[in-house]
């Protein structure tokens, strides 16, 4: 599959592009991009005002500020060289804690604000149809993965055509795993990628910001609330992924936002996000060649069942 077959693309690339084109065709053929498709979802009229939107932006700044005090308090420096000889697994654990605390203020605000108005179910915090949500999430994970990998392949092909260097790894997490081989490290990075990030990011970008934006522009303009939040989601990841891959994150934000609007369930969006991250994490780990051994790759193969 690694042998170039067409314009430098190998078999895996071509298969990815075919799946990408077929999925896009199916989405447009089914009319899932039309406002009417989103209109079938519940209207989350939870009584929010523009003040809630600005509060969310403030919490986006406050959360990381509060979390920044954690590493110094624990005597850990989150740098690539490990500071004063701190093990990489310890840095990964502290980094996961920092990430959780950074999203905590937004999560608390969302839950308290919805609970005070009696809108936990309408806001999607309490699922109304959990079995339906699981079915949608299962399909959503596959769609998200195909669209993201397909667009990523297109962007890499474009970068190659314009003779721009491509990064060896697509995310800082995978760079860490390539340079440091530890099963415990795999565990902490998996927790951060598959548990903390999906919950925290979906609570903020979809549950808080997308709902707040709809309160400003009106619930009949759902795409106009999905797209800005998806763009914000992509821009926030600059630094974690190469710049040319930011459109992939924006596309993922669109998928997560669409799922939230269509189902009205925040947990459904979280499940799609978590499933996508788990698939990407597993696939990337199975292709990484660690410089210090094979424990990380073996752990990944165990997670993948093989």
pLDDT at residue 197 greater than cutoff 80: yes
pLDDT in tens, 247-264: 999 999 999 999 999 999
Of 32-46, 120-134, 174-188, the range with the lowest mean pLDDT is: 174-188
pLDDT of amino acid 54: 93
- Percent of the chain's residues with pLDDT above 70: 81
6 SS3 class: strand
Decide: residue 19, CB within 10 A, 0-12 exposed, 13-18 middle, 19+ buried: middle
Residue with tokens 């998928």: 255
**pLDDT average, residue stretch 226-245:** 91
Beta carbons within 8 Å of 78's beta carbon, 6+ residues apart: 71, 91, 94, 95, 98
The confidence band for 107, taking pLDDT boundaries of 50, 70 and 90, is very high
The domain limits of the chain are: 11-25+127-303
pLDDT at residue 65 greater than cutoff 70: yes
How is 8-63 classified by DSSP, letter by letter?
A: TB-HHHHHHHHHHHHHHHHHHHTTTTSHHHHHTSPP------HHHHHHHHHHHHHH
pLDDT at residue 219 greater than cutoff 80: yes
Q: Round the average pLDDT of the chain to a whole number and report it.
A: 84
**pLDDT average, residue stretch 200-204:** 97
pLDDT in tens, 123-151: 999 988 899 999 999 999 999 999 999 99
Between CA 189 and CA 173 the distance in angstroms is 7
- Rg (the chain; Cα; Å): 20
Between CA 231 and CA 138 the distance in angstroms is 24
| 85 vs 89, higher pLDDT | 89
| 157 vs 34, higher pLDDT | 34
């Amino acid at each position: 599959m690694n042998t170039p077959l067409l314009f430098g693309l190998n078999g895996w690339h071509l298969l990815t592009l075919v799946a990408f084109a077929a999925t896009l065709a199916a989405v447009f053929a089914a009319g899932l991009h039309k406002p009417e498709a989103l209109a079938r979802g519940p209207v989350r009229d939870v009584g929010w005002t523009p003040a809630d939107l600005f509060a969310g932006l403030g919490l986006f700044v406050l959360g990381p500020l509060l979390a920044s005090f954690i590493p110094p308090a624990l005597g850990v420096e989150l740098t690539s060289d490990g500071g004063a000889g701190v093990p990489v697994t310890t840095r990964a654990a502290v980094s996961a804690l920092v990430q959780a605390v950074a999203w905590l203020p937004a999560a608390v605000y969302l839950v308290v604000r919805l609970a005070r108005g009696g809108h936990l179910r309408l806001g999607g915090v309490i699922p109304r149809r959990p079995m339906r949500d699981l079915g949608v999430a299962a399909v959503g994970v596959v769609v998200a993965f195909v669209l993201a990998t397909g667009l990523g392949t297109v962007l890499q092909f474009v970068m190659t055509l314009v003779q721009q260097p491509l990064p060896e790894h697509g995310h800082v997490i995978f760079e860490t795993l390539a340079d440091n081989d530890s099963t415990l490290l795999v565990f902490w990075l998996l927790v951060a990628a598959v548990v903390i990030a999906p919950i925290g990011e979906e609570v903020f970008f979809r549950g808080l910001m997308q709902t707040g934006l709809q309160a400003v522009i009106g619930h009949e303009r759902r795409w106009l609330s999905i797209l800005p939040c998806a763009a914000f989601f992509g821009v926030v990841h600059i630094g974690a992924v190469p710049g040319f891959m930011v459109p992939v994150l924006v596309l993922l934000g669109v998928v997560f936002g669409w799922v939230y609007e269509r189902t009205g369930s925040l947990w459904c969006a979280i499940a799609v996000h978590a499933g996508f991250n788990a698939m990407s994490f597993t696939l990337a780990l199975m292709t990484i060649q660690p410089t210090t051994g094979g424990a990380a790759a073996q752990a990944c193969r165990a997670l993948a069942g093989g």
